Amino acid sequence: MNDPESRLALLRFLERVQERDLARTRRWIADEERRRTEHRRGLLARPPAPDWLIEHGLSGQEAVYVHVGGCWNASRRSKGVDRDHARRALAEGVKACPQCRPDTELGFVDG
């Protein structure tokens, strides 16, 4: 290692390796920034959550519960509906979710 030329060659090699590493790190940063931007854009483009949900049974036909939109207990088989549809479902005998109590929110009184 006493040869100045060998030492200089090693330092130049180290420099190239570090430049390659830095370029790779910058690509990773750019990729991550792009992913974050796309994620934010996707969140902003997402349609608003429905105010009311009708949950259907396993067959997909029969309505089993009415939920307030965003209810933690609503299943993936739930579909967004408007206020009138939710009230009509309750009037037709579809059960109100016992957790979010849409019947109370809708001012629905039996009878």
pLDDT at 110: 58
Write out pLDDT tens, residues 34-92. 999 999 999 999 888 899 999 998 876 789 999 999 899 888 889 999 999 999 999 99
Query: In which residue are the tokens 């370029």 written?
Result: 23
Question: What is the structure's pLDDT at 109?
Answer: 66
**Above 50 in pLDDT, residue 111?**
no
Of 76, 78, 50, 52, the residue nearest 64 (C-alpha): 78
**SS3 at position 38:** helix
Phi–psi pair at 65, nearest 5 degrees: -145, 150
Maximum distance among all Cα pairs of the chain, rounded to whole angstroms: 100
**AA identity, residue 15:** E
